[in-house]
Amino acid sequence: MRSAPGAHSVEVMSNHNDNGRTALITGASAGLGEALAERLAADGWRLVLTARGEERLAKTAARLGAQYLAGDVADPAHREALVALADGQLDLLVNDASTLGEVPLPTLAESDLAAWPRLFDVNVLAPIALAQLALPQLRERGGAIVNITSDAATGPYPTWGAYGATKAALDQLSNVLGAEEPAVAVWAIDPGEMSTAMLADAVGEADAAQADPPSAAAERIARAIGFRWRAGERGAPPSGRFAASDYSETEAHE
């Protein structure tokens, strides 16, 4: 892969077999993004990783032998540089980066509407903007888009209104994009509750610690992704919204 200005490629000794596929993952320095990068690397994927914090991102990339470029997915120039790093070989776009907005989460009656543009820029506009840039490569290669959603998109959870609205919007945009792009699988995947820093910010560390680790959801999501390229099962699952828990057992889809 060629390098964009500011991009880094980390070469490490690895037992991974290169499967010839490339994935771009946002929010890859922590939580689900990092766990999914680790899982896909184990499956032989080449990785392009991004997150805002360069120090932690660099450590993740070094461990996985990935290219990385730190930055804000809400920045158009950063998005263009990211997609350029795939050098025309992109097979999978994972839009994991997101923000809660105001913390502690407020009720809608108390929400600061001035914080909403940033919330929608990161959680809705950025994933679709990256999809627009990636689609030429994904169409050509029969690729896929994973948009990480949430049960807050469908449930009336107090104080989750603004965040949930962004995920509901992302769900619907994923639905429409999947209908418009028959050559590309477009999945809105609900990973379930995970013990991440984001969840701790929302509900407190004690409650967040009771949730499953991100690696559990990453395993399930990687399992679903694998069906896209598995011999004889190309195109499964179809575009649409589903929960990572639907792929808790391999046998359910083999």
Please indicate, yes or no, if residue 61 is contained in any of the structural domains: yes
Please indicate, yes or no, if residue 4 is contained in any of the structural domains: no
Please indicate, yes or no, if residue 11 is contained in any of the structural domains: no
Residue 236 confidence (pLDDT): 63
Residue 121 confidence (pLDDT): 98
Cis peptide before 237 (omega within 30 of 0): yes
Please indicate, yes or no, if residue 111 is contained in any of the structural domains: yes
Please indicate, yes or no, if residue 3 is contained in any of the structural domains: no
Catalytic member of 68, 157, 163, 247: 163
pLDDT tens for each residue of the chain, 254 residues long = 444 556 665 443 333 447 899 999 999 999 999 999 999 999 999 999 999 999 999 999 999 999 999 999 999 999 999 999 999 999 999 999 999 999 999 999 999 999 999 999 999 999 999 999 999 999 999 999 999 999 999 999 999 999 999 999 999 999 999 999 999 999 999 999 876 677 666 777 787 577 688 899 999 999 999 988 875 445 468 999 999 999 886 444 44
CATH number at residue 48: 3.40.50.720
Q: In what order do the strands lie in the sheet with 8-9?
A: 8-9, 67-68, 46-49, 22-25, 90-95, 144-148, 185-190, 240-243
Residue 237 confidence (pLDDT): 82
The pTM assigned to this predicted structure is 0.90
What tokens were used for 226? 């694998």
Per-residue pLDDT of 165-204, as tens digits, reads 999 999 999 999 999 999 999 999 999 987 667 766 677 7
Please indicate, yes or no, if residue 59 is contained in any of the structural domains: yes
Indicate the number of domains in the chain: 1
- For 223, the domain range is 18-253
Residues 157-168: b if buried by 16+ CB within 10 A, e if exposed = eebbbbbbbbbb
Active site residue 247: no
Please indicate, yes or no, if residue 7 is contained in any of the structural domains: no
- Give the contacts of 21 (CB within 8 A, at least 6 positions apart): 44, 45, 46, 91, 92, 229
Please indicate, yes or no, if residue 6 is contained in any of the structural domains: no
Residue 7 confidence (pLDDT): 62
Residue 16 confidence (pLDDT): 47
Place of tokens 């990973």: 191
Q: In sequence order, what DSSP letters do the residues of 181-208 get, joined into one string? A: -TTSEEEEEE---B--HHHHHHH-HHHH
